Amino acid sequence: MKRMRKLAVMLAMVGVAIAGCTSQADTVSENISVAAEQFEIERRIVFLNGITDKYLLSIEGRCSIEVGNTGVANALEVTCRTGDGQFVKHFLGLSDNVSFFVEQLVAVNADPYHYRVVFRPESIVPDIDVDTSG
């Protein structure tokens, strides 16, 4: 029993040590990603036709991107904040000859010793719409 307890303590210590081994670059990258998802980062998203080498589309602004989570295979979802409480959403299909890149337009300060937790009460307690046949 004592041996099992020692093994459990050692495994817990190894887990804590591994979790604490993130680099400053990883922390800064995560902080920038969180800021971008909160529409705090100016971005330019450009779509390029790989056959003709021409730009197909360019989107600039405070935009959040989701790759492949749109429910549509090979798609990119771009949601941009256009004003106070105003947003637009685009779905863009990707193919074997269309690629995209996302450029951060302005440098931001990111602290490697600070992390963010963002709570959205409306996500935890949903706003329910009731639609009855009455």
Closest CA to 55 of 93, 91, 101: 101
* Domain membership of residue 109 as a residue range: 25-124
Examine residue 60 and state whether it is found in any structural domain, yes or no. yes
Residue 88 has pLDDT above 90, yes or no: yes
Examine residue 15 and state whether it is found in any structural domain, yes or no. no
Three-class SS of residue 104? strand
Examine residue 72 and state whether it is found in any structural domain, yes or no. yes
| CA–CA distance, 37 with 83 (Å, rounded to integer) | 15
Most confident of 70-79, 89-98, 118-127: 89-98
Quick one: DSSP state of residue 32?
A: H
For residue range 5-26, list pLDDT tens digits in order.
655 555 555 554 455 556 888 8
Examine residue 52 and state whether it is found in any structural domain, yes or no. yes
Examine residue 73 and state whether it is found in any structural domain, yes or no. yes
Examine residue 130 and state whether it is found in any structural domain, yes or no. no
Q: What is the pLDDT of residue 45?
A: 92
Q: What is the DSSP string of 83-102?
A: ETTEEEEEEEE--TTEEEEE
Q: What is the pLDDT of residue 27?
A: 83
| CA–CA distance, 54 with 75 (Å, rounded to integer) | 19
Q: What is the pLDDT of residue 28?
A: 84
Both tokens of 57, joined, read 């589309």
- Confidence class for position 79, pLDDT limits 50, 70, 90: very high
Decide: pTM greater than 0.85.
no
Examine residue 9 and state whether it is found in any structural domain, yes or no. no
Distance of CA 33 to the CA centre of its chain: 5
Per the structure, the count of domains in the chain is 1
| CA–CA distance, 54 with 98 (Å, rounded to integer) | 10
